[in-house]
Amino acid sequence: MKKILVTGSLGQIGSELVTKMRSIYGTDHVIATDIRDNGSEVVKAGPFEILDVTDATKMYNLAKKYEVDTIIHLAALLSATAEKKPLLAWNLNMGGLVNALETARELNCQFFTPSSIGAFGPSTPKDNTPQDTIQRPTTMYGVNKVSGELLCDYYFTKFGVDTRGVRFPGLISYVAEPGGGTTDYAVEIYYEAVKNKRFTSYIDKGTYMDMMYMPDALNAIIDLMEADSTKLKHRNAFNITAMSFAPEEIAAEIKKHIPEFEISYNVDPVRQAIANSWPNSIDATAAKEEWGFKAEYNLEKMTIDMLEKLKRKLN
């Protein structure tokens, strides 16, 4: 990774990944792109271009103009939005991905795109979900993610494009908020705890999902992309996780720091159904063995950091 084009740079991951990669690889070596300009640090601090990922020609031209050797393709709709707008999700998630893969093939770029725990479905083993297992998701997002994993593997075996990916769990961060995901409650709960000391969860108690704090997610992307390719038996995509909890457990952790905090429930049937179709916890052994994945933050450590950073941000 010497010169990197990032799509979806103003999303939850991109907002922090671009800044981190600019500090490692050099400001001018990370070209941020997004469909909009929000005037943020990512836009102002280094190269930034407007890019709709369904515009294949523009994507190719930008990658060529900046002579990039790596594409990090992040632009996508998340699970709950994809369920509301399935055709848009197909067109954006799959159309964007194939354009990005084609650009990588033509310009000989290394390639990363995230998959998700959403790539699993109700027939997948729910606990300690293996790396290689049944993947028959019942959501449009999951259909996109499995298709995307297969397509990325295809570009590697057929064309030799160096494609790599991880199955991210729910990502928790204090910089940019996610939008339209099923795991978003685990971000919102911290904002509401700091602002109002109460939170109404749209995910029911007892619903376990894998989660990860953003610093670990950023390190995972960079470590996987820097990993020795001869050590990789898998490519698209590696199970990774840092913790698994249910809403009442994250609430209890927050209560240790904000004793007045209370959680209540008003379950959203759409997002609850999505959550029910996903694993309770996934097994990250392959990622650990093949490229040394590790997570620094558990629920306790993440909660301390999130509350401290959010108090500063919101006051």
What's the number of CA atoms in the CB half-sphere (13 Å) around residue 298? 3
Q: Is 144 in the site for ligand SER (CB under 6 A)?
A: no
Choice between 168 and 238, CB closer to ligand SER? 168
Does residue 129 touch ligand SER according to CB under 6 A?
no
| String of contacts with ligand SER for each residue 202-241, x by CB under 6 A | ----------------------------------------
Q: Does the footprint of ligand SER cover residue 181 (CB under 6 A)?
A: yes
Q: Which is nearer to ligand SER, 103 or 116 (CB)?
A: 116
According to DSSP, the residues that pair with 33 across neighbouring strands are: 49
- Write out the two tokens for 237: 């995509």
The single residue among 15, 19, 33, 116 that binds ligand SER, judged by CB under 6 A, is 116
- Which residue in 25, 60, 66, 141 is the catalytic one? 141
Between 64 and 103, how does the x/- string for binding to ligand SER read (CB under 6 A)?
Answer: --------------xx------------------------
Amino acid at 127: D
Q: How far is CA 144 from the centre of its chain?
A: 14
- Site for ligand SER contains 42 (CB under 6 A): no
From the list 138, 123, 144, the residue with the least C-alpha distance to 76 is 144
**201 lies in the site for ligand SER, by CB under 6 A:** no
Whether 66 is a known active-site residue: answer: no
Please choose, from the candidates 62, 63, 7, the residue with its C-alpha nearest in 3D space to the C-alpha of residue 32. Answer: 7
Q: Which CB sits closer to ligand SER, 112 or 168?
A: 168
The distance of closest approach from Cβ of residue 272 to ligand SER in the complex, given in angstroms and rounded to an integer, is 12
CA distance 32 to 17: 10
Residues of this chain that interact with ligand SER (CB under 6 A) are: 78-79, 116-118, 141, 168, 170, 181-183
**Residues assigned a catalytic role:** 141
